[in-house]
Amino acid sequence: MLRVKDLKFHYQGGQQVLKEINFKLEDGKFLSVLGNNGAGKSTMLKCFNRIIDPEAGSISLDGEEICRMPMREAAKRMAFVAQTIPNTQMTVHDMVMLGRKPYMQWGFTENDHRIVHEAMERLGLTEMRGRFLNELSGGERQKVMLARALAQKPKLLLLDEPTSSLDLKNQYQVLQTVRDICHETGIAAIMVIHDLNLALRFCDRFLLMRDGAVFRYGDAHVIDREAIWQIYGVQGETADVRGQKIVMVD
Amino acid sequence: MNSDRLPLENNGCGGEYHKNKVKSIWILVLLGLVLAAAVLLSLWAGSYDTPVTELLRGIVNQANDPKINVVVQNVRLPRICTAVIAGAGLGVVGCVLQSILDNPLASASTLGVSQGASFGAAFAIIGLNAGAQNGGGLWISLAAFAGSMGVAAVILGLSRFSQITPESIVLAGVAISSMFTGATTLLQYFADEVELTTLTFWTFGNLGSAGWGQIRFMLLVVLLSSVYSIFHRWDFNALLAGTETAASLGIHVRRMILINMVLCCLTASAIVSHVGLINFIGLVAPHIVRRLVGNNHVYLIPGTILAGASLLLLGDLLARTVVSPVILPTGAVTSFLGAPLFLYLLFKRRKGVC
Ligand SMILES: Nc1ncnc2c1ncn2[C@@H]1O[C@H](COP(=O)(O)OP(=O)(O)O)[C@@H](O)[C@H]1O
Ligand SMILES: [Mg+2]
């Protein structure tokens, strides 16, 4: 269970980016964070992950306070897939191995190798594990980064716009994998995404952000005409297609 | 190293990865053999009619001809050790700088760190008259370290903490280098005869003058930075995935960059204050090894250590033999050979290849 209480943050010399964020997320749930550009979504993820330190508030995961934890300990509990995907001459296997870095003493153990192998298997990367990252397509690299995050064995998975550079098929594959992992293993995932329909299709919870504050939080019913107008400033409506809620923008 | 062994079940599929790993290890072995060959060649060059076994016996003072003993012990061996240690050190520094600054054009000499060290050393000799004093060597080393740290602070300020392209950083390095080279030249106006000879010899880089005490000091510093960077090899790998991803993996990125920068300055200044300016080894060695094994620092760092040592040794061999019996300054030879490679890298980057 993730509890976020009164989380506040501002960059040096900038205005308040996060204003009193409050919410709870149960284990095994897939949360999408929605909001316009500059709403503070990426900043919030970075606070969770100790990349930046919040100025006030608390973030607790299963009762443990994240902000008072050494970074390495936090890295064993949360994994982060950043918005920009690295493009370097390193093999897929070595990049996924990086996920075991927080656990590493002098070298990697058999257990580390087993976990890495499982993570690659899960995302269908085993066949290409000897290839260099800079020889892969954007979708394949994104899967590598997701496998790396899974190899970290986190309780909470953080994803910043993981589908923004993928084609339709890869978008569905990546999101389906994350959802299945959440439901099967009970880890929670928080994802920033701009596509409302993809979010509605795969996520269990929705956090709507506006100007660094939570506008609404809850399950699919929080997304309606009013919310779309307030968050994105566009007219839109929701509809039901074969039991699946969808959003249409006028 | 059992750490990188694969579980048996994995060997069936994805054998490509296994092949890749074996290949990397073989390349390291090959680089080791090249280094060994370069050492033998350096030992042999200049006394071609002496059997190699005799020269090898000279290393442990057991040659039949006492003259061989003296030549090997007092001339060849110190020179070889200096080249191996300085080359390895410059290689490691180049590799680490390229990683932490995320800049493939970085190295101690292209950023001006070496030139800063050289100015510091010159200042100690002329300004503080350290060359003539007892224990002046320590002052020279300290001043060299201070000079390199000054440059490093400017480079750090310009790179990670603001948005400047790798090329601009190198341009800044060029500006800083010529400033310090100019300042060193100005200092020469205030130097007397003796100081002047010391200085000129330095600006070129010369491997022939370090005594065993100085070699031991260099060895200590180079060992320190090599072991440190090998131990933290996966931190560098994490940085390849981006600073944010590295932080999310539990790495204090700023602290890591600062510590490594200080270590690089320490190593570069220790080398510069004993052998003078030697350009391009630190830039070229990591590139050659990266070509062979990729960007994984598990192989890249040891490979660069071996390649740096071999390159400087071979450069020195050229300097000694090309117009024998005249010995050219080693730094001049490495610059002459390294500069075209540097231009090639710049050109390739423009085309977006590396
Ligand atoms: N490193 C930074 N320094 C200063 N301000 C920043 C920095 N990163 C983001 N911001 C500002 O913080 C606000 C929120 O940014 P961000 O969290 O990236 O928004 P989102 O991901 O929701 O688009 C923006 O106004 C942005 O300009
Ligand atoms: Mg963002």
pLDDT at A163 over 80: yes
pLDDT at position B8: 41
User: Predicted confidence band at A166 (pLDDT cuts at 50, 70, 90)?
Assistant: confident
Mean pLDDT of B96-112: 90
Mean pLDDT of B97-112: 89
CA neighbor of B274 nearest in space, from B44, B103, B89: B89
pLDDT at position A145: 95
pLDDT at B162 over 80: no
Q: Which ligand is nearest to the CA of A160?
A: 2
User: Predicted confidence band at B12 (pLDDT cuts at 50, 70, 90)?
Assistant: very low
What whole-number distance in Å separates Cα of residue B312 and Cα of residue B284?
11
- The residue whose C-alpha atom lies closest to atom 8 belonging to ligand 1 is A43
pLDDT at position B1: 39
pLDDT at position B194: 78
Q: How far is CA B68 from the centre of its chain?
A: 30
- The residue whose C-alpha atom lies closest to atom 20 belonging to ligand 1 is A38
What whole-number distance in Å separates Cα of residue B245 and Cα of residue A135?
20
pLDDT at A44 over 60: yes
Chain B residue at shortest CA distance from A86 = B241
Starting at the edge strand that comes first in sequence, how are the strands of the sheet with A30-34 ordered? Answer: A78-81, A156-160, A188-192, A30-34, A205-210, A213-218
Q: Is the CB of A13 under 6 A from ligand 1?
A: no
Chain A residue at shortest CA distance from B254 = A51
Q: Is the CB of A208 under 6 A from ligand 1?
A: no
CA neighbor of A19 nearest in space, from A210, A228, A222, A194: A210
Mean pLDDT for chain A overall: 93
Of residues A171 and B133, which shows the higher confidence score? Answer: A171
pLDDT at B15 over 70: no
**Residue from the list A72, A88, A107 with its beta carbon closest to the beta carbon of B295:** A88
User: Predicted confidence band at B171 (pLDDT cuts at 50, 70, 90)?
Assistant: confident
For residue A34, is it left (φ>0), alpha (ψ between -120 and 50) or beta? beta
pLDDT at position B36: 97
pLDDT at position B61: 85
pLDDT at position B134: 66
CB contact under 8 A, A106 and B3: yes
Q: Is the ipTM of this complex over 0.95?
A: no
Only one residue has tokens 């131990």, namely B231
3-state secondary structure of B257: helix
Q: Identify the residue among B233, B249, B287, B353 best suited for mutation to test binding to A, counting A beta carbons within 10 A and taking the highest.
A: B249
B144-158 as b/e: b if 16+ CB within 10 A: bbbbbbbbbebbbeb
CA of B334 to the centre of ligand 2 (A): 47
Mutate to test the pocket of ligand 1, among A8, A11, A159 (most ligand atoms within 8 A of CB): A11
User: Predicted confidence band at A8 (pLDDT cuts at 50, 70, 90)?
Assistant: very high
pLDDT at position B350: 58
Q: Identify the residue among A48, A85, A89 best suited for mutation to test binding to B, counting B beta carbons within 10 A and taking the highest.
A: A89
pLDDT at B277 over 80: yes
Q: What is the pLDDT of residues A63-119, one digit of tens each?
A: 999 988 999 999 999 999 998 888 888 999 999 999 999 999 888 999 999 999 999
What is the CB neighbour count within 10 angstroms for residue B68? 20
What whole-number distance in Å separates Cα of residue A125 and Cα of residue A25?
30
User: Predicted confidence band at A217 (pLDDT cuts at 50, 70, 90)?
Assistant: very high
* CA A192 to ligand 1: nearest atom: 21
Of residues B123 and A147, which shows the higher confidence score? Answer: A147
Q: Map out the domains of chain B as residue ranges.
A: 26-350
Only one residue has tokens 């995404």, namely A193
Mean pLDDT of B247-261: 92
pLDDT at position B201: 67
Mean pLDDT of A37-48: 93
Mean pLDDT of A148-177: 93
Contact of A144 with A93, CB cutoff 8 Å: no
Q: Which ligand is nearest to the CA of A34?
A: 1
CA distance, residue A198 to nearest chain B CA (Å)? 25
* CA A13 to ligand 1: nearest atom: 4
What whole-number distance in Å separates Cα of residue B205 and Cα of residue B148?
17
Contact of B345 with B104, CB cutoff 8 Å: yes
* CA A43 to ligand 1: nearest atom: 17
User: Predicted confidence band at B161 (pLDDT cuts at 50, 70, 90)?
Assistant: low
Lowest mean pLDDT among A80-84, B13-17, B22-26: B13-17
| Total beta-carbon pairs less than 8 A apart between chain A and chain B | 115
CB contact under 8 A, B248 and A79: yes
pLDDT at position B9: 42
Mean pLDDT of B308-332: 90
pLDDT at B354 over 60: no
Q: Identify the residue among A44, A45, A101 best suited for mutation to test binding to B, counting B beta carbons within 10 A and taking the highest.
A: A101
CB contact under 8 A, B13 and A127: yes
Phi and psi for A145 in degrees, rounded to 5? Answer: -65, -35
According to CATH, the superfamily of the domain at B26-350 is: ABC transporter involved in vitamin B12 uptake, BtuC (1.10.3470.10)
pTM of the complete model: 0.90
A78-81 and A205-210: which strand pairing? unpaired
Write the CA distances from A92 to A57, B98, B137, B194, integer angstroms: 38, 22, 49, 58
pLDDT at B5 over 70: no
Mean pLDDT for chain B overall: 85
B88-122 as b/e: b if 16+ CB within 10 A: bbbbbbbbbbbbbbebbbbbbbbbbbbbbbbbbbb
Chain B residues touching residue A51 (CB < 8 angstroms): 244, 247-248
CB contact under 8 A, B231 and A106: yes
Chain A residues touching residue B294 (CB < 8 angstroms): 89-91, 132
**Residue from the list B3, B17, B242 with its beta carbon closest to the beta carbon of A93:** B17
CA of A7 to the centre of ligand 1 (A): 16
Mean pLDDT of A156-164: 93
Long-range pairs of A167-176 with CB within 8 A, sequence gap ≥ 24:
A167/A139, A170/A139, A170/A142, A170/A143, A171/A195, A171/A198, A173/A139, A173/A143, A174/A139, A174/A142, A174/A143, A174/A146, A175/A201, A175/A202, A176/A202
pLDDT at position B323: 86
DSSP conformational letter for B159: T
